């Protein structure tokens, strides 16, 4: 009898820490109930609008008809994916998508870092704030507005032709948006112009957290401004650069649909036909929802693979990663 009582007491003592931990957790949760409620609303929003619709991905493997439920659509397996790979537009679509995105990554990714480094060296607070405000102002304008501005500037009678003619750079006006050879340059330049200042804000925030003592030590050692940027500032913000680089690599197949939609036309179609435009035309204009979903799913899978590769590479190089 005593042995049984001792066993029960030992069991109660064994459970007690777990029960106490759960009690503390519930008490803490109750104390944060208002914050947790706000967080719960965000989680519910994400589940409803991001995860529940993922059920529709199965139409990529079906022949979906909009007048019938998804469950009644016949299965076709990988036929939509095979059709896309064999499509006459496949090579052109992938070339434009990868070409625009890779050039944006190569040129557009380091520019905000460089801009932030030089802006951080400006001693005049008024000038620094003025430049920063002017640089990130275009971010708040939609591509519909900027597209109209660029269309006007780049037309035969636009300001760009007036300036180039006055400088004798060209002999006659050029309709830039009607020439496929100029389209990639216009897309990349305008995207950098719009997002340069806004992207630099994150790097400026990271630079602001660098300890002043490190700069003082570098000054004592005789380091100049460029040496401080290279040996102090850049190493101090490498974690931020790595995280943003991972996200940028995962979005290589994103070619900024809004931007291309407002700047493309029938004359530059050979240079503006990217995956996002192909999905839009195939799904929304032609009503081939299953085919368009298959192409979109292909793009998402490639993005996930690129994310995992970039995450692994940055983790090995400087021990920084998303997960």
Q: Are residues 275 and 312 in the same domain?
A: yes
- For residue 248, being part of any structural domain is answered with yes
At 282, which CATH number?
A: 1.10.3720.10
Is there a single domain that holds both residue 272 and residue 200?
A: yes
**Structure token pair of residue 241:** 């650069």
Say if residue 95 is in the same domain as residue 238. yes
Q: Is residue 10 part of a domain?
A: no
For residue 153 the two structure tokens come to 């500037």
Q: Are 92 and 270 in contact (CB under 8 A)?
A: yes
Domain contains 66: no
| pLDDT tens readout for residues 269-323 | 999 999 999 999 999 889 899 999 999 999 999 999 999 999 998 888 888 887 8
H/E element, 204: helix 180-208
Is 100 within a domain? yes
Both 188 and 272 in one domain: the answer is: yes
User: Are residues 107 and 191 both part of a single domain?
Assistant: yes
Check whether residue 52 and residue 186 sit in a common domain.
Answer: no
d(CA 320, CA 236): 13
Are 312 and 187 within one domain? yes
Q: What is the pLDDT of residues 46-93, one digit of tens each?
A: 999 988 988 889 999 999 988 888 888 999 999 999 999 999 999 999
Instruction: For residue 105, give the nearest of 177, 199, 197 by alpha carbon.
Output: 199
Give the CA radius of gyration of the chain: 28
| Count of domains forming the chain | 2
CA-to-CA separations, 22 to 18, 28, 33, 36, 66, in angstroms, rounded: 6, 10, 16, 17, 49
Report which of residues 99 and 17 the model is more confident about: 99
- The whole model's pTM is what? 0.82
Express each pLDDT in 217-233 by its tens digit.
Answer: 988 888 888 898 998 99
Residue 74 resides in a domain? no
Task: State the residue range of the domain holding 271.
Answer: 88-318
Q: Are residues 259 and 204 in the same domain?
A: yes
How much helix, strand and coil, in percent to the nearest 5, is found in the chain?
80, 0, 20
Q: Are residues 122 and 213 in the same domain?
A: yes
Q: Is the pLDDT at 13 greater than 70, yes or no?
A: no
- Check residue 282 and report its DSSP letter: I
pLDDT digits (tens, 9 = 90+) for 177-208: 999 999 999 999 999 999 999 999 999 999 98
Examine the domain organization and report whether 132 and 231 are in the same domain. yes
Do both 253 and 171 map to the same domain?
A: yes
């Amino acid at each position: 009898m005593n042995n049984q009582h001792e066993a029960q007491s030992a069991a109660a003592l064994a459970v007690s820490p777990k029960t106490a931990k759960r009690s503390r957790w519930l008490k803490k949760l109750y104390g944060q109930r208002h914050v947790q409620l706000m967080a719960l609303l965000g989680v519910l929003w994400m589940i409803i609008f991001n995860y529940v619709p993922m059920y529709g991905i199965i139409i990529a493997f079906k022949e979906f008809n909009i007048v019938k439920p998804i469950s009644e659509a016949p299965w076709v397996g990988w036929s939509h994916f095979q059709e896309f790979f064999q499509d006459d537009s496949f090579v052109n679509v992938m070339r434009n998508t990868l070409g625009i995105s890779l050039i944006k990554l190569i040129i557009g990714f380091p520019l905000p870092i460089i801009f932030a480094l030089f802006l951080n060296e400006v001693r005049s607070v008024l000038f620094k704030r003025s430049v920063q405000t002017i640089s990130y102002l275009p971010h708040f304008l939609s591509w519909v507005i900027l597209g109209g501005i660029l269309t006007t500037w780049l037309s035969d009678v636009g300001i760009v032709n007036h300036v180039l003619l006055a400088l004798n750079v060209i002999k006659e006006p050029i309709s830039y948006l009607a020439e496929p050879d100029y389209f990639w340059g216009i897309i990349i330049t305008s995207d950098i112009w719009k997002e340069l200042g806004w992207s630099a804000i994150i790097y400026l925030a990271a630079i602001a957290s660098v300890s002043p003592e490190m700069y003082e030590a570098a000054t004592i050692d005789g380091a100049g401004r460029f040496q401080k940027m290279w040996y102090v500032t850049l190493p101090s913000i490498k974690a931020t650069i790595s995280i943003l680089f991972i996200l940028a690599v995962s979005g290589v197949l994103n070619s900024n649909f809004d931007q291309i939609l407002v700047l493309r036309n029938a004359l530059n179609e050979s240079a503006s036909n990217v995956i996002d435009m192909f999905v839009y035309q195939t799904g929304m204009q032609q009503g081939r929802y299953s085919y368009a979903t298959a192409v979109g799913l292909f793009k998402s899978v490639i993005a996930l693979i690129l994310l995992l590769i970039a995450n692994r590479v940055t983790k090995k190089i400087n021990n920084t990663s998303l997960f």
